[in-house]
Amino acid sequence: MKFVCDKDKILKAINSVVKAVASKTTMPILEGILIQTNDKEIKLTTYDLEIGIEYITECQVEEEGSTVVNAFMFSEIIRKLPDTEIYITLNEKNLLVIECEGSLYKLATMNPEEFPELPKINIENSIDIDQKTLKNMIRKTIFAVSIEENRPIFTGCLFEIKDNKLNVVAVDGFRLAWKSALLEGQANNFSAVIPGRTLNEVNKIILDSFDNIRIGVSKNQALFEMENCKIVTRILDGEFLNYANVIPANWETRIRVNRNILQDCFERISLISSSSIEKEKKYPVKVTIDIGKVTISCTNQTGDAKEEIYVATEGKNLEAGFNPKYFLDSLKAIDDEEVYVNFGSSISPCIIKPVEEGDYVYMILPIRLKE
């Protein structure tokens, strides 16, 4: 094996696949990158038995072949080399020789035949969507995925195709984020729960462009496929929350407020709520709504804080407690200048939604305030 490649091209390929390298494994081969060459390109593959990523990039191939090299060592060397052409050869002693200007490195390799094949997916249903839209949908939901492994189904996002619309939903038991988008082509109705970890990696790889990405699913695997990259992942088993039935259709109190002003208030209040002096305790913030005004306050052993903002209000006066982080996560994900915040009662879910963007809903459960 022998090829020449620009540093920026091979580094982009490495950065795309390295997240599917196994970190804790008894199989050293899974800590490697499989490098394969053909006529005019190289293919890099990583697979930790849950996520597999393939990335193809053009280069000047002088001799075809394949090998597996430790991903961490290979990526760090390439990253620190000068920004120019890199010459890579597999020599007669099965060492991977990396040359660039005055730099010379030789790395031990592993047998490529021992590298596990990525699952071959018999796609039953698929959709095409532009990468910009998918990137936005993941960004607006992924933060609400559960990190608790006792309910594995909630550690992923529901991808639901219904009536030619893609719904992406994340829920962790305390909050829910739901983003939808109309699809251009006709698509069958289907659903799959994709692991949050996979979606984080997909979001890093896809571009903020209108180039399409294909999402295909089989019974227990999903495939994200672009022009030069594909990502294979398992689908989570279990029954997802019937999200449409838990989101309140009506409200008793509503405010309309500038998103940045509300976000700044919650960020300042969070300094008291999440004080480092009492890390083991979580103090809710109290949201009090009067006519034309919202008061956000918090009191604990560190001190107390109060923020008042003047807003447009409708409905009844109200007092409820919330985790400020949950409010902040949604406000950071919304792009509109103004948001509606809808309340039922002090113990009912709260809904945050953009004023202009009608296809995004975020729901938070309140926290009971101590008397």
pLDDT value at 276 more than 60: no
Say if residue 286's pLDDT is above 80: yes
Mean pLDDT value across residues 278-284: 62
Residue 371 belongs to some domain of the structure: no
pLDDT at 282: 63
The domain containing residue 143 runs over which residues?
125-245
Task: Kindly state whether residue 198 falls inside one of the protein's structural domains.
Answer: yes
Instruction: Please indicate, yes or no, whether residues 137 and 110 belong to a single structural domain of this protein.
Output: no
Amino acid 358: pLDDT: 85
Which pLDDT score is estimated for 371? Answer: 63
Over 90: is that where the pLDDT of 302 sits? Answer: no
Same domain, 225 and 273: no
In a domain, 233, yes or no: yes
For residue 51, the number of C-alpha atoms closer than 13 Å in the C-beta half-sphere is: 22
Count structural domains, the chain: 3
* Domain boundary pick from 84, 114, 144: 114
Inter-residue contact 78 to 11 (CB < 8 Å): yes
Binned at pLDDT 50, 70 and 90, residue 301 comes out as: confident
The pLDDT of residue 369: 83
Q: Does 241 lie in the same domain as 251?
A: no
pLDDT in the model for residue 160 = 98
pLDDT of 185: 82
pLDDT band at 281 (very low <50, low <70, confident <90, very high): low
- Say what the pTM is: 0.92
What tens digit of pLDDT does each residue of 248-263 get?
989 999 999 999 999 9
- Return the minimum-mean-pLDDT range out of 132-141, 216-225, 261-270, 293-302: 293-302
Residues 229 and 254 in one domain: no
Whether the predicted pLDDT of 193 surpasses 80: yes
Among residues 114, 144, 178, the one where a domain terminates is 114
In a domain, 119, yes or no: no
CATH of the domain at 194: 3.10.150.10
Question: Looking at the domain assignment, is residue 369 inside a domain?
Answer: no
Flag whether pLDDT at 280 surpasses 70: no
CB atoms within 10 A of CB 123: 14
| Residue 157 pLDDT exceeds 70 | yes
**DSSP letters for 246-292:** HS-S--SEEEEEEHHHHHHHHHHHHHHHT-GGGTT--PPEEEEEETT
Output the six-digit token pair for 279.
């890390």
Average pLDDT estimate for 159-186 = 95
Same domain, 209 and 268: no
Q: Are residues 132 and 55 in the same domain?
A: no
Distance between CA atoms of residues 62 and 43, nearest Å: 15
**pLDDT tens digits along 220-234:** 999 999 989 999 999
Helix (H) or strand (E) holding 191: strand 190-195
